[in-house]
Every structure is written in structure tokens, then in C-alpha cells.
Amino acid sequence: MPANYNNSAWFYDRLSRMVYGRALINAQVYLLQYVPANAVVLIAGGGTGWILEELTKIHPSGLQITYVEVAADMMALSKKRNTGSNKVTFINDAVENVTPDTKFDVVITPFLFDNFTEQTTEKVFNHLHNLLKPGGLWLNADFQLTGKWWQNVLLRSMFLFFKILCNIEASKLPDVDRQFGVHGYKTIEERTFFGDFIISKVYK
Ligand SMILES: C[S@@+](CC[C@H](N)C(=O)[O-])C[C@H]1O[C@@H](n2cnc3c(N)ncnc32)[C@H](O)[C@@H]1O
């Protein structure tokens, strides 16, 4: 059975705010400043969709957004978001199954890869890489371990919690940096949050 975030849709944001305060939001809002005006944007695994409202605060119009979310309950919440005059296409499917006819100026993966094993990460990464225009930007936010004991404790608790509730396949963080390196991406900006446990990177 694949992972399913439906069970957590109704409390996901409240729980993440309880544990991390605004850190998960700040990590993603930091990345959104790099989305150029009138860009064609892919958001993969947007959760309850608050990121759409944050993006709309920066660009109230002109964007063409494809919003892909595999959990139907997350998608239902996302569709209620204010997206201004931007054009948004909602696709309720796993992003690796989605083959749009356009390529994207920007791909956003907010806490997506931490769900996956190395094998799935590689597959999803390759798929997204092929959807990004040459010279496009890839905005990625995720957890990282920098040697602080509490990071391991928090990470293990999260994996256990989401394994029981949502059946996620991961039990350790995949090496996403390696994927970016293998595919020739360079980090052009980065910032850490929540005592370095969260890292947001702009890749080109
Ligand atoms: C850890 S949550 C993060 C949600 C949101 N980005 C946030 O920060 O609040 C991961 C999200 O990715 C979605 N997801 C997992 N695998 C996916 C896939 N293959 N394609 C699209 N969405 C996926 C899940 O349903 C879930 O909503």
C-alpha cells in the first residue's frame, strides 16, 4: 500500500506548527522570493495548499501553476485556497505519474523527498528533472542532520508517526543533494531554519 497523507490532512498544519512553530512556513516562504514574475511553476506535494496563498501574496497574478498532490484530502483543502488571478491546474496524483505538455521555469519540492526511499527519490527526481526547463530553478526544502542529538530524536519520531498513520516508506533521509549533484545542479542560494534541522536551497 503506498503512503497516504489523507489521514493527517485535517491536523497536519496544526501539528507541524505545534512542533516547529513557523519554521516550516518560513523555510518555504524564503524560497518563494526566487519565483520570477509570469513563471510557469510546478509544486509537487504541496500538502494543504497554504503555499499557494503565500505565493499569491508575492505574485497575485501572472503565474501558471501546476499543483500536484497525491492525497485527495490534502488536495480538497488546497483547492479552497486563494490563488488570486494566477492560473492553477490541480492534479490529484503522484507527481511521477504526471506528464504535462509544458516544461517549467520553476519546480518546488517542499518536504517531498523525506517521504521516500533512495530508490523512489531517484525515480521522482529524474521525472522532475525532465520537467524543468534548462536553466530553470528548483526550490527544495527538507530536513537535514547536522550532528545535533535532538535532530535524530525528532526525525525518528516523525518517521515512526507518519509510518503508523500514513504508511510512508522512508525510515531515513534520502541523499537528495547527491541527486542534484549527479544531474549537474549548482546551489545558488540557501538558508537553514530551526537550528539547522531544516534547509532550503535554490538550485539551478
Ligand atoms: C511531508 S508532507 C509536506 C506537505 C507540505 N509541503 C508542507 O510542507 O506542509 C508531504 C506531502 O507530499 C505528498 N506526496 C507524497 N508523495 C507524493 C507524490 N509522489 N506526488 C505528489 N505528492 C506526494 C503527501 O500527500 C503530502 O501532502
Q: What local confidence, expressed as pLDDT, does residue 165 receive?
A: 86
Q: What number does the ligand 1 atom closest to the CA of 28 have?
A: 8
Q: How far is the CA of 178 from the centre of ligand 1 (A)?
A: 21
The predicted structure's pLDDT at residue 111: 97
Can you read off the three cell numbers belonging to residue 129?
Answer: 528533472
pLDDT band at 166 (very low <50, low <70, confident <90, very high): confident
**13-19 — which CB contacts under 8 Å span 24+ positions?**
13/47, 13/48, 13/50, 19/154
Say yes or no: CB of residue 78 within 6 Å of ligand 1. Answer: no
For ligand 1, whether the C-beta of 5 sits within 6 Å is yes
Whether 95 lines ligand 1, by a CB cut-off of 6 Å, is yes
Cα(128)–Cα(91) distance, integer angstroms: 15
Q: Given ligand 1 and candidates 18, 55, 115, which is best to mutate, with the most ligand atoms within 8 Å of its CB?
A: 115
Q: What is the pLDDT of residues 25-67, one digit of tens each?
A: 999 999 999 999 999 999 999 999 999 999 999 999 999 999 9
The residue contributing the CA closest to ligand 1 atom 19 is: 94
C-alpha cell at 159: 518517521
Q: Is 112 in the pocket of ligand 1 (CB under 6 A)?
A: yes
pLDDT digits (tens, 9 = 90+) for 4-24: 888 888 898 999 999 999 999
Q: Which tens digits make up the pLDDT trace of 73-94?
A: 999 999 999 999 999 999 999 9
- Pick the residue whose CA is nearest to atom 20 on ligand 1: 94
Closest-CA residue, ligand 1 atom 18, reads: 94
pLDDT over 70 at 2, yes or no: no
Assigned C-alpha cell, 54: 503565500
All domains in the chain, ordered by first residue: 5-203 (3.40.50.150)
Q: 40 - beta bridge partners?
A: 64
Give the number of the atom of ligand 1 that is nearest the alpha carbon of residue 71: 25
